[in-house]
Amino acid sequence: MLTGKNLIDGAWHGSDSALPSGDVDGLSVAQAMMAQVDAACRAARRDFRAFAGTSREARAAFLRAIAEEIDALGDAITETAMAESGLPEARLVGERGRTTGQLRMFADLIETTDYLDARVDPALPDRQPLPRPEIRLTHRPIGPVAVFGASNFPLAFSTAGGDTASALAAGCPVIVKGHPAHPGTAELVARAIAAAVSRCDMPAATFQLVHGAGREVGEALVRHPEICAVGFTGSLRGGRALYDLCHARPVPIPFYGELGSVNPCFVLPAALSARAGAIAAGWVQSLTMGAGQFCTNPGVVVAIRGDGLAEFTSAAVAAADAGAGQKMLTDAICGAFRDGRNVLAGKAEPLTAPRDAEEPRHASPAIFRTDAATWRATPDLQEEVFGPAGIIVECTDTDEMQAIAEGLAGQLTATLQADDGDHALARDLLPILEEKAGRLIWNNWPTGVEVCSAMMHGGPYPASTDVRSTSVGTLAIVRWLRPVSYQNLPAALLPHPELLG
């Protein structure tokens, strides 16, 4: 059933360069050639106006058709994703539901009109000293969009994930650069989208998929003059390189990248005294969920030294030592985790037992401890280690805790574990953390990002490249829209006469 081919302008194409996939028997993946990337971008531009001109109702029906086609391929998608990613069946079934749920959520959104933010200033012909013309504003699709699939979410942040769903909802053709860790899964989902394109009579280049290992294909996409915006989920290093390319183009374009975050958790004194063991158990469960391969993995705990922190640390280490190693997404990701863990071991005190006999591609939980002064003076401790590694930072008092908050780089999330007696300290921390993170969490954990209208999944750099943007939730659609004003145009010629007329 799988071919490893690229979907370009409605047809499947091989190439002269094959990339073997060791996780799906017999699958050889066709590396997209530069001429194919160019053809995909030009086709997307050719079909942009036709797709942008479809009605909101037609695009909503299209999004729902994609969801239905993915559901129809459900078991095949799950089995292929399990083979490629090492993720368990239950996780992937849930992720598939999240993927189709996002598509239906954006379908519901565009059947309303709020997202268009239409504004009308009527003419004032008698205004002195000068009359005012009639001016109307709405939002229009930005143009063809390139989306990069994520390694850790083969469904919800990849081929038909949130970036793709929101861009299609906005009226933008999408070219997905499939992640090389799961090309078979990408192909199956692309086939579902292609079926919906045909079923709903959308333009052929509404959606396209290209494969590529290394940087060549991705760089060619973001440099192509027909691409108008980019969505990316991945590493800080890779995302920053693409961001720089986007802004070095003769015509710079928006790059919406989700890059890296340590997602600090501040455990305040009253909560630490009352429920240290329970907080520790919750932290380790969140830290090790999915082998720690979540962008919201809470990699740092900040608390004040004392009996409560000693109890917390003992409980956290016991829970981590009792946890089994988990299979990681790829050999490369596992190797990078182990390297990062070794770096932490040279900069902070290891608290968990070493596991010399780890299985290939498996990661075991690792917890470290340091003091606030060392943390602040050691940049390596403040960088994300993608996997189940966490650091406990011991402060001497609340002033040190606030100083750590002030020194944080941008984060996706910041968590407060607090009781009623902690409200005064929380009031001091919250204005700081509002500047540092996109989502603030009270007595909960950051893993498990809810897909809803109020979700903010982004944050100040380096968590993401645009602090105003989210990659989860209905607000994601604004990334692929741009405001346009219409002065004195006849109502019959406006793009949304029902709103602007």
Could you give the residue numbers annotated as active site? Answer: 258, 295
Q: Give the C-alpha separation, 409 to 299, whole Å.
A: 14
Q: How far is CA 123 from CA 132, 137, 483, 484, in A?
A: 5, 14, 20, 18
Identity of residue 469: S
Q: Give the C-alpha separation, 419 to 309, whole Å.
A: 15
CA atoms within a 13 Å half-sphere pointing along the CA-CB vector of 52: 18
Count other Cβ atoms within 10 Å, centred on residue 110: 24
Beta strand extents in 328-365 (DSSP E only)? 349-350, 362-363
The answer to whether 488 and 497 have CB atoms below 8 angstroms apart is no
The answer to whether 276 and 311 have CB atoms below 8 angstroms apart is yes
Beta strand extents in 4-107 (DSSP E only)? 6-8, 11-13, 18-20, 28-30
DSSP result, 413-450: EEEEE--GGGHHHHHHHHHHHHHHEEEEEESS-S-S--
- Pairing verdict, β 326-327 and 366-371: unpaired
